[in-house]
Amino acid sequence: MAKQRKIIHVDMDAFFASVEQRDFPELRGKPVIVGGQPNSRGVVAACSYEARKFGIHSAMASSRAYRLCPEAIFVRPRFEAYREVSQQIRDIFWRYASEVEPLSLDEAYLDVTFTESFNGSATLIAKAIKKEILAETGLTASAGVSYNKFLAKIASDMDKPNGLFLIRPEQGQAFVNQLAIGKFHGIGPATEAKMKNFGIHTGDDLRQKTLDELTESFGKSGQYYFNIARAIDERPVRSKRLRKSLGKETTFAEDITSLEELTQILYGLAEQVLNGLQTQQLQARTITVKVKYADFQQVTRAQTIDTAITLSILKTWLPQLLQRTDAGKKPVRLVGVSLSGFDLPQPNQSAQPQLNFT
């Protein structure tokens, strides 16, 4: 009989801001915002828990964050420092996990199904990882422990900061039933609003919908929603992820309204992306143009073709995709180009095994 999987999701607490407070003691206990300066067009990359009390969060415009908390201390990101700490943390993960799947610098999934430390207790393993992270980096992390990635991810948010939350296999369904739909990982604000229009407010509401109903309303995502409503998530923890797209974008110091100027910028970005693909020996079939307007609304326009994309093909399609947006009518603050639909062999899907969580 296959073992029940044991998955840990580790999420560093206010990572960038915590590194700054660790390295600069004068910042400790104060509202710290890592990102753009308040008089710039920048955004908040991360903020300390002291700043979060004022309603500040990542991706918020720095100018708005300043209005919410004028006494906040704004610091520029030091990504080299964050990457160095992130590598320290990943080294700790590999002491315990057979598979580590980083999601970003500050979070990762760990598969500890076959780890023998602590008699195979996933909870004790998570405690040990948190203890070692604190000892070696001076930073705290929160961890979620469960039998699949979906529940482990949600669990890590349940007891922040410096928390540890366990969802046992026999608790999974009841936990999902009472969970507000907006708390589901993978359901953003737009989907949440759509679900509420369908009378779906909790996991239990979602479980009442048939697969056909969910597929009709949400397309391919319907199967995922059907499964997670039943606390099912068979996705394996993968140490190596296949790249699905490659892109480049740029934010302007001043908004641009000229279609011609925006097109030329897209050409330059596309050439960089194409060079990146050639370096990795990849060929793409889908072109996507991203436009963010001055009011922060964002749209994408894509085109898939039946041949490998070349520079001449890009120069044909980029203006057409741009014309499908309101660029030229509305001022634009950011544009981007990404290429996807790579011609790659599909990896073998090895079956994941399904012990002691306490």
- Interatomic CA distance for residues 18 and 139, integer angstroms: 7
Segment (H or E) for 227: helix 221-228
Catalytic residue among 50, 99, 101, 107: 107
107 is catalytic: yes
Q: Cα-flanking dihedrals φ and ψ of residue 315, to 5°?
A: -70, -20
Measured between alpha carbons, how far is residue 74 from residues 17, 41, 140, 263 in Å?
10, 14, 22, 34
Tokens of 295: 């009011």
Residue 44 bridge partners (DSSP): 35
Q: Where are the beta strands (DSSP E) in the chain?
A: 7-12, 32-35, 44-47, 73-75, 99-104, 107-111, 141-146, 164-166, 245-256, 286-293, 298-304, 332-340
- Interatomic CA distance for residues 96 and 87, integer angstroms: 15
Tokens of 84: 């160095």
Q: Which residue's structure tokens are 């992820």?
A: 241
- Interatomic CA distance for residues 220 and 244, integer angstroms: 17
Q: Looking at the annotation, which residues are catalytic?
A: 107
